[in-house]
Structure 1
């Protein structure tokens, strides 16, 4: 029997009549491209840069036209010149490294405490009864209000700064990891029990992977809080760091240096957030997600 092809007006490809299934092998394979992928011709990374570039342009025009006086806020050109001077002397790199080290140290300590307590409270009812209520009480206490106590306990060195960051980052990780564990689909739990998984295997292969999306969201929140706590922490008799540069610039009304420090905080925060986004793509590749329209 001769095979007969006809043109599909919807898919715009040659299709085989149902009466000739043997002719399917003669059809060329075609890649199907989603309609959403062909709508825009501008790359996404270009569109993501448009907002910040537009904001800097508005800032520059306001500074050049005199709408925004230099005494109130230095213009982009002045800020870039000040950043270049600080970079040339090495002050900026040293301050960035010290601040980043403080933030990551506090995040490591606070994250370890928060995740450990969340796992214990999430997996065991006794752990929830003993841990959850104190954590809910402590998370409502403003971290800034603890600065006098931290100074009394740890002095005015590096320890109170790191402790303040650790306190600020422990709670968002605890809340999100705890919620992630308790919100794992019960159908998956029953499926694991049906397959005969042990308790340890259930935790490793079902519960913890199911809680990972919430844990990464908590990590992003914790990183944002880490930078906020760092700003306050570096006001505690700091002798180095971005906060130290800001404090000196405030004394001499150097708004350009203050803006440079704020920009460094923002860029460091953007860098660590990009790192978390990359981790989400790597560890959550198994989970289909909505990417927008």
Structure 2
């Protein structure tokens, strides 16, 4: 069987993680690093798609005129990466602890990425932090810390076992996720987070809850006319259990990539999630200019 040519393959953007300038770091001393974790890139590539990191185009070393909008117009969809906490100020709250300050600059970058892809009607998929960021971008809120703010919460993050820490979820019947996993109402997934959705964003449905404590674990935008594909999971579908006991993530990836294929053929009109076009990009640029 002949492999597809590169110009026939989907081009999927992957949002960047940030390691901010650090004068004590022995390598790339005092330089800002933007990077991806290889497992999620390999997961997307496992279905034959090409992965392109979407770097932040503004900052103290910025040159040229490339913008996030250029990436959104060129690529077929984007995956919002996991990583640092979301800054509570991004959803209108004061941090309850210094440890939960998150990364405001990365929030502004991620919001600008979501904005750029949403404005051109390209599919968006979020993982862990990506789910939380999407929820905030469209008007939802978060628990700053599930275990201290959600009554009866189980442990959702274990720093020792990390991606081998699991809990069950219940898939909501009659949702798209339920149709992707027929007759699989309760399944096991990894759990690597301490923040989570408190109030779901308007226009989104919850497709899975953690069991037994009921924290949202998967969301999807209503399939209303004129809106593009947005879905997200709180767990990391790219990570696997050593014993193979957790939910097979391939249907989730195939669903997203199918949406990307459809958007290439029949693109949907774009919308700004912030009412004012390119508002998040302007806020990001302003914040980074102030750092100079």
TM-score by length of 2: 0.21
Structure 1 or 2, whichever has the larger Rg, is 1
Higher share in helix: 1
